[in-house]
Amino acid sequence: MSKKLNICEIFGPTIQGEGAMMGRPTLFVRTGGCDYRCSWCDTMYAVDPKHSDQWQRMTTEEVMAEIERLSDQTPMHVTLSGGNPAMQPLEDLIDLGHSKGYQFALETQGSLARDWFKKLDQLTLSPKGPSAGVKTDWDVLDACVDLVEPYKQASMKVVIFDDADYAFAQKVQNRYPQLPLYLQAGNHMVDSNAPADIPGVLDRLRWLAEKVASDRWQSACVLPQLHVLAWGNMRGA
């Protein structure tokens, strides 16, 4: 009997909207629960236990069955997200999925270092800048990076709202020069019941692009959130 996983939602196929895998087809497994409370969190329904009545306790086999159903039994790419998916025992799911030909990416803030990160096909570490109002434990983030050091498909992603976040991202770059760094223009309107402020989002994208360009920060990569542009704040897209 495998351990139960806290699952908020499983959906797709859709397109990855962020970071290194932007634009590529994937399924999403969103776990419930997070050790952070970021001020601009866009998935509070997967964070705050007050929404936990909408989460399900599922076995590895049940999650895999749903992945196979959504993908018509044809192996494809799966993104493990949250909340903080590092809080869930996902190693068995990765092993089971791999045995069936599926690939797995995981995105986490890097507040919990799990040995099984080594098994992932892609890992995105997304430490949170000052605007999030949470504190980065650099030692744990170091431990996450140490796990993936020999591993080529790991990257850092920092959401940028302001100059303080930008300085934070520069610190991340200096500390982990070996990892590609994605700078994501922040979305300030994250209510999934309200329309996204697309002009506002694009204003921030322009501001960030102009800043990186004029600084000629050659190793940075400025990206929007493709899913917010295409589908707004709609859940499950």
Cis omega (within 30 of 0) on the bond before 232?
A: no
Partner touching 47 among its own copies, ligand SF4, none, CB below 5 to 8 Å by kind: ligand SF4
Name the pairing type of β-strands 181-185 and 154-160: parallel
**Of the candidate residues 17, 82, 127, 180, the single one contacting ligand SF4 (CB under 6 A):** 82
Please, are residues 39 and 131 in contact by the beta-carbon 8 Å criterion? Answer: yes
CB of 19 to its own copies, least distance (A): 10
> 176-195 mask for its own copies (x: CB under 8 A)?
------xx------------
Window 5 to 64, contacts with ligand SF4 (CB under 6 A): 34, 36-38, 41, 43, 47
SS3 category, 45? helix
Contact between 221 and its own copies by CB under 8 A: the answer reads: yes
CB of 163 to its own copies, least distance (A): 18
Q: Is the dihedral of CA 24, 219, 40, 128 positive or negative?
A: positive
Binding residue per annotation — 42? yes
Q: Is the dihedral of CA 6, 85, 104, 11 positive or negative?
A: positive
CB of 31 to ligand SF4, least distance (A): 10
**Of the candidate residues 3, 24, 118, 135, the single one contacting its own copies (CB under 8 A):** 24
Please give the Cα distance from 59 to 49 (Å, whole number): 20
Strands in 77-81's sheet, in edge-to-edge order, are 56-59, 4-15, 25-31, 77-81, 103-108, 122-125, 154-160, 181-185, 220-223
Binding residue per annotation — 32? no
Looking at the Cβ atoms of 143 and 209, the one nearer to its own copies is: 209
Q: Is the dihedral of CA 128, 60, 89, 95 positive or negative?
A: negative
CB of 178 to its own copies, least distance (A): 18
Between the two ends of the chain, the Cα-to-Cα distance in Å is 32
Distances (CA, A) of 132 to 120, 160, 171, 210, 212: 27, 10, 16, 23, 21
Name the maximum alpha-carbon separation found in the chain. 56
Contact between 206 and ligand SF4 by CB under 6 A: the answer reads: no
- Annotated binding-site residue numbers for S-adenosyl-L-methionine: 40-42, 83, 126-128
The residues that touch ligand SF4, with contacts defined as CB under 6 A, are 34, 36-38, 41, 43, 47, 82-84, 109, 128
Query: Residues comprising the binding site?
Result: 15-17, 30, 34, 38, 40-43, 81, 83, 126-128
Contact residues for its own copies (CB under 8 A)?
12-15, 22-25, 71-72, 74, 76-77, 182-183, 198, 202, 205-206, 209, 212-218, 220-224, 226, 229-231
